[in-house]
Structure 1
Amino acid sequence: MRKLLVALVGTVAASCFFCQPALSQTDIPLQGGSEWNHNRNSPIAPIAAIGVPGTSEANPFVNFDQARVDPRLQLLFISSRSSKAVAIIDALTHKEVGETPAIFAGVGIDSPHSGPDGNVVAGRYLFAGDYPSLVRVFDLGVSVSSPTEVAEISTGGAYRADEMDYDPEHQVVIVSNGDSTPAFVTLISTTTLKIVKQVVFDGTNGTPDTSQGGIGSVMYNSRTRKFFISIPEVGSDVTAGAVAVMEPTTGEVTQVFSGLDNCMPSGMAQGPGENVLVTCDPGFPAPDPVQFAPRTYVINGRTGAILANLTQVGGVDYGAYNPADHKYYLGARDYFTSPSATIASPVLGVIDADTNEWIENFPTGTDAHSVTVNPFNNQIFVPIEDPNSLCGTLPGCVAVFTDAHQGERW
């Protein structure tokens, strides 16, 4: 399997390969046996640092948004604002593959005025958000190392087109304009590259009111076959967070999971069974460091029932689930150790996804908010801005982690 994947990435010749739907979590070969169970709670350790294409000593890697591994392509995509492009790295060999054209907004006055932002692979296309309110689409089927832009889709907002995810069944990408007032989402067909629906979250038609807190992130739940949208603040109640559930074909909001309080829901990750990780990020400093103490939720993705409320890690932007080792990994850039803390203590949090118990926090660095995993080799990728000891002499990097007993299991 590894040789086949590398060959496909290297040649990009088999166009039908890009026509396949994205891997579901059940498609990924899972590891089992007594050794896996014995080492499942072993600590993680950094094993490599990868330079980011398009960055250098003269142009260090200091600003970025989402990093995402596509398991089928075995490619790591990094929204690098420092280089105004999406950088592409081989997720198996860690070698540079290339980058998109450097046509994004880059580093603006703040994140809502910057790009690239969220990214996702949908079939042969790479979608990436940008400022002002643009979704850029690149064709990976022509070239992975230097993909050509084939569409520029305006979602009609004033700020960035931000988070996104892909529904391979209905061939729809969801994109959030989470910084707008009120926030809204856009559904884009991956066959026509046209907008098919926009839904404003203004408190009408079953949508939560996002006029104060916007939208945190979006996710496709392959088990319920619905889009999930995290809502940091419902109406004017800063303590009330929620997750909205949307039908991909109509844009109808069919459920709202409330009760995610004192959280400001941000990232989400589909876990084992019906479980969904919901991360919390009130920012740093938090509005009230006692009320908004570090927190992470796990909910049932069908009912919204809260299954776990963990307090050992919080201030998390992105979370990821690795179906190979049954762990959640959390990019906790705004984690703080006490209500009186004057600076954040960024960490990579680790949670056992079967028991919903916290395992550890590994120190990372300033703005280390994104995390993604490669289930084929149990490696965890965390973009790290310059300077940081995890990067060695590199001017910013992607730090690669795995568990301390990797050799016993693979």
Structure 2
Amino acid sequence: MRSRILLSVLPILLFVLVSGCGTAKNCPVCGTTVNEGYGVIDIIPVPEHNPTGAPGGPFNSFDISVVDPLNHRFYISDRIGLDVVVLDTIRNLAIDTIGGANEVAEAGINASPCDPTIPFLVSALGNPTRFGCRTAGFQIPGFGPNGLFGGFSGAQCCASRGNGVNPLSCPCGIIVTADGKTMFVGNSSSTVVVFDLTTIDLTKSPPTPPTVIANVPTGQSPDFDGPQGVGPCIDSSQGRALSDPTCGDLRADEMSYDEKDHILLVANGDPGFPFVTLINAADMVTRPVTSNPCPAAHAGPYGPTNFPTCILGQIYYDGAPTNNIGVAVDNQIGTTAGDFPCPDASTSAPSGVSGTASTATGGRNVPCHHGPILTMSGAFCDQAKPASSCSGAVSLAGIGGSAFNPNTGLFLVSNASATGDLTVGTIDVIDPRIGNSNGPVVVNSFVTLKCMPSGITQGPGNNFLVGCADHDGVAFPPNEYVIDGTSGAILATIDKVGGVDETWYNPGDNRYYVAARDMPAGPVMGIIDAKTNQWLENVATGSNSHSIAADPTNNHIFVPLQAGSLCTTQSANGCVAVYAQQ
């Protein structure tokens, strides 16, 4: 079978888009701190993408990307190739893909094996699903146990942003640990797939794939392989907010990680009934891994009646009127606040893995709490005895990216629309409460007005850049905020770039880079000086260009692009563009 990974450098010389401050496109005040602009210096073809649809079509649906600076690797979620593509950031070429038995780019020949102790996965309706580990006991029509990771669901319905069903489409969020040994990837089966990157051997042909050492359910999988599949769920995306029971808890998406205590935070963040899960990943990042580091509570598959034991707790954005942080499960049943179980079992697709206190969890409760209690303007209320003007936070536009603040030991989570006022977004502060059996809780909220925060990234010191999406339900003028990570005080407002999805801080040049796909004049990469918090430049990118990461060694910025002219010789296929300061 022919090799499908580029094993030799394919340099493609491009016209330099900007040659200096005086001629830099879209740069009216470029050069405030430097006198040079940015442009594309190279493009990188993505394996097995072409306009014919054989095997996968153009590179038109992708998600989160990250850089591992230690090993000079760029990882990007590819929803058409059904894999995570691995690029070398020094040589600018694709060197590997990571996926499962359904992978398009490698036709499944390099599917990752699963640790055999990982249970297979059962959906919200009790049916096995292929988007987990096909270990002992797995069976769906035409498929049995083969010991392999089944794979990622890919772009459901359509590759275009307007027609795609994002909550069912993955791979999604990616985290690579600082030592470069472990990768966490969000999947549409409401799971986090954990890969041991040390098992990769690129000297082999095809390369030896990484082993899946854990597949952690954060909720209940959509019923991909049930009698009806997810067709009813897709139908319910039109006006019913993905409410059909076949939807389960949708995808596990964006993540952040505490390197010190090895806690992973992941959001099932799509609008409707979003929640965040905190996972103890200590045994997942310790080498050697000798067995499944997140076993089920009892023998049998992961699923609605059998949940993993590594979950520290969950927080649900369900509008609950009070928070009781002194208990493990804040169910509020029979209280003056009314019956408000955590999680809310009244929904058509009951969410999450919390609050059962049954044999499914070994007779213990997985801690479950509600989102913060806020005023309509987003101010944080007394959580135990809120005033009458306060109410439970919702998340009308979903939960976005998050960050861990090592200065405080707390997580910062973006909520695009926290109250009934669409101008009010928040950055919620979550205390993992390590060692506290009552689990993690929200301890504060920072208001971000007219922003709809999509994510947050730590910059120098205690500065954090808040990316503003600016577009869900109402359009706001472009903006970003730099805040103090402890107090939430706004240190700077940047009004020259907005409509942002992913943000990145590059310590190599002390700059923030933002993927502003929804700028009114067209998608751009925004560049901000992290020392002065001064906007420097916007550089044109491509349609739905919402992912970005940089290597601090050479200060090159990697931007995935759909098919289009910026990809030059790869214009019909899509590519990853390499930007640099000229």
TM over 0.5: yes
Partner residue of 1:71 out of 57, 69, 72: 69
C-alpha contact 2:78 2:85 (8 A) present in aligned 1: yes
Partner residue of 2:483 out of 262, 281, 299: 299
C-alpha contact 1:266 1:280 (8 A) present in aligned 2: yes
Unaligned runs of 5+ in 1: 1-9, 11-36, 338-344, 405-410
Tell whether 2:180 aligns with 1:120: no
* Amino acid aligned to 1:88: V
CA shift for structure 1 position 391: 4.5
Find the counterpart in structure 2 of residue 85 from structure 1. 83
Distance 2:64 2:37 in 1: 25
C-alpha contact 2:555 2:580 (8 A) present in aligned 1: yes
Distance 1:175 1:288 in 2: 27
Distance 2:194 2:50 in 1: 26
Partner residue of 1:156 out of 213, 219, 224: 219
SS at match of 1:126: strand
Pick the structure with more strand per residue. Answer: 1
SS at match of 2:276: strand
Distance 1:88 1:308 in 2: 35
CA shift for structure 1 position 267: 1.8
C-alpha contact 2:405 2:412 (8 A) present in aligned 1: yes
C-alpha contact 1:333 1:367 (8 A) present in aligned 2: yes
Unaligned runs of 5+ in 2: 1-6, 8-30, 104-150, 158-164, 202-206, 221-248, 284-292, 295-309, 324-369, 373-392
Tell whether 2:473 aligns with 1:287: yes
Find the counterpart in structure 2 of residue 251 from structure 1. 440
Per-residue deviation, residues 187-245 of structure 1 (Å, max 9, x unmatched):
12221343222222335437331342221111122333321100101121110011011
C-alpha contact 1:99 1:147 (8 A) present in aligned 2: no
Find the counterpart in structure 1 of residue 153 from structure 2. 105
Give the TM-score normalised by the residue count of structure 1: 0.82
Tell whether 2:399 aligns with 1:399: no
SS at match of 1:366: coil
C-alpha contact 1:384 1:396 (8 A) present in aligned 2: yes
- Matched residues, percent identical? 39
Distance 1:371 1:268 in 2: 13
Distance 2:216 2:263 in 1: 14
* Amino acid aligned to 2:193: R
Partner residue of 2:37 out of 34, 43, 48: 43
C-alpha contact 2:563 2:570 (8 A) present in aligned 1: no
Distance 1:223 1:373 in 2: 23
Matches within 5 A, 1:7-406: 40=34, 42-57=36-51, 58=54, 59-101=57-99, 102=103, 103-109=151-157, 110-122=165-177, 124-143=181-200, 145=207, 146-157=209-220, 158-179=249-270, 181-190=272-281, 191=283, 192-193=293-294, 194-203=310-319, 204-205=322-323, 207-208=371-372, 209-248=393-432, 249=434, 250-258=439-447, 260-283=448-471, 287-289=473-475, 292-337=476-521, 345-393=522-570, 395-404=573-582
Distance 2:502 2:95 in 1: 24
C-alpha contact 1:48 1:399 (8 A) present in aligned 2: yes
Distance 2:98 2:535 in 1: 37
Distance 2:431 2:568 in 1: 42
Per-residue deviation, residues 316-346 of structure 1 (Å, max 9, x unmatched):
0011111121111110001104xxxxxxx00
* Amino acid aligned to 1:82: I
> Looking at CA atoms only, which structure, 1 or 2, has the larger radius of gyration?
2
Distance 2:568 2:186 in 1: 27
CA shift for structure 1 position 95: 2.6
CA shift for structure 1 position 369: 0.4
Distance 1:242 1:38 in 2: 31
Distance 1:55 1:127 in 2: 24
Per-residue deviation, residues 149-181 of structure 1 (Å, max 9, x unmatched):
232221115211000121110111111010153
C-alpha contact 2:456 2:464 (8 A) present in aligned 1: yes
Distance 1:293 1:165 in 2: 28
Per-residue deviation, residues 347-404 of structure 1 (Å, max 9, x unmatched):
0011111111111110101010011111111011110011232353251111111111
Distance 2:444 2:418 in 1: 14
SS at match of 1:187: strand
Distance 1:196 1:156 in 2: 14
Find the counterpart in structure 1 of residue 288 from structure 2. none
SS at match of 2:515: strand
C-alpha contact 1:384 1:391 (8 A) present in aligned 2: no
* Amino acid aligned to 2:212: E
SS at match of 1:107: coil
C-alpha contact 1:49 1:392 (8 A) present in aligned 2: no
C-alpha contact 1:40 1:325 (8 A) present in aligned 2: no
* Amino acid aligned to 2:41: I
CA RMSD of superposed structures (Å): 2.1
Residue 288 to residue 96, structure 1, CA distance change in 2 (3 Å)? closer
Distance 1:364 1:38 in 2: 22
With 308-317 and 388-397 compared, the bigger mean Cα shift is at 388-397
CA shift for structure 1 position 79: 0.4
Structure 1 runs (4+) deviating above 6 angstroms are none
Give the TM-score normalised by the residue count of structure 2: 0.59
Distance 2:66 2:215 in 1: 21
Distance 2:526 2:35 in 1: 13
